[in-house]
């Protein structure tokens, strides 16, 4: 029996509860009622960093904040699909043409060892299943074990991320690059990744975050 079908049967038997409202009616981790509460931003460029367009799908608050934190910190891996779907629902309305390799913000090996998984790789896999794009987890590596960004100023974020990423051009595919992250606050993470791309003469880039705080 196909694994996905088997898991679906087990989910039906054991009735998963919605992570948000605790309802078991749909036996999924985010019921349709809670998903519909996710609020999208207007369909336009959120900011431009070194000539690269950055799009943000929603505001980091309420259900979207709970969704991201559940996946990122509380091992709710099933939520990756719903985060990816929210991004996909926004992306398809942008009507951006082209074939992309999807590159999630990488984790340093020390943090990956502690967390056990890169939440944005899970989102990238689900997003690629929806779009038909190809994930690329090998192109950009995080070579510096940076501090958490959320308590730092814009200047401190840039210093923290300086030389944090390294590109392996042998892993570059003949496709446009879509850099994805969960939260774009000051844009410093994207800024450093873009700078590393430009150092390697890679310019066909778009950045896309699930949320922004403002």
Ordered per-residue pLDDT tens for the chain, 214 residues: 466 666 566 655 567 899 999 998 998 999 999 999 999 999 999 999 999 999 999 999 999 999 999 999 999 999 999 999 999 999 999 999 999 999 999 999 998 888 899 999 999 999 999 999 999 999 999 998 776 666 666 676 667 677 889 999 999 999 999 999 999 999 999 999 999 999 999 999 999 999 999 7
pTM (whole model) above 0.75: yes
Spacing of C-alpha 35 from chain mean position: 17
Q: Domain range holding 128?
A: 38-212
CA pseudo-torsion sign 163, 164, 170, 171:
negative
Q: Coil, helix or strand for 167?
A: strand
- Do 45 and 18 lie in one domain? The reply is no
Residues in the chain, total: 214
- Do 18 and 69 lie in one domain? The reply is no
Q: Taking the CB of residue 14, how many other CB atoms lie within 10 A of it?
A: 10
Q: How far is CA 196 from CA 50, 80, 96, in A?
A: 12, 27, 24
Q: How many domains does the chain divide into?
A: 2
- Do 90 and 172 lie in one domain? The reply is yes
């Amino acid at each position: 029996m196909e694994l996905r079908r088997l898991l679906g049967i087990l989910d039906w038997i054991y009735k998963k509860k919605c992570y948000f409202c605790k309802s078991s009616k749909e036996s999924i981790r985010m019921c349709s009622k809670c998903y519909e509460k996710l609020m999208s931003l207007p369909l336009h460029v959120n900011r431009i960093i070194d000539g690269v367009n950055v799009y943000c799908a929603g505001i980091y608050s309420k259900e979207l904040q709970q969704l991201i934190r559940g996946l990122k910190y509380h091992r709710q891996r099933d939520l990756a699909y719903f985060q990816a779907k929210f991004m996909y629902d926004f992306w398809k309305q942008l009507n951006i043409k082209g074939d992309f390799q999807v590159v999630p913000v990488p984790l340093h090996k020390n943090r990956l060892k502690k967390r056990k998984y890169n939440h944005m790789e899970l989102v990238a896999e689900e997003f690629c299943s929806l779009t038909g794009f190809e994930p690329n987890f090998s192109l950009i590596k995080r070579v510096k074990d940076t501090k958490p960004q959320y308590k730092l100023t814009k200047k401190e974020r840039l210093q923290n991320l300086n030389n944090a990423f390294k590109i392996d051009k042998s892993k570059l595919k003949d496709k446009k690059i879509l850099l994805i992250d969960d939260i774009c606050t000051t844009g410093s993470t994207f800024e450093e990744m873009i700078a590393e791309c430009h150092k390697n003469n890679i310019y066909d880039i778009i950045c896309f975050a699930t949320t922004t705080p403002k």
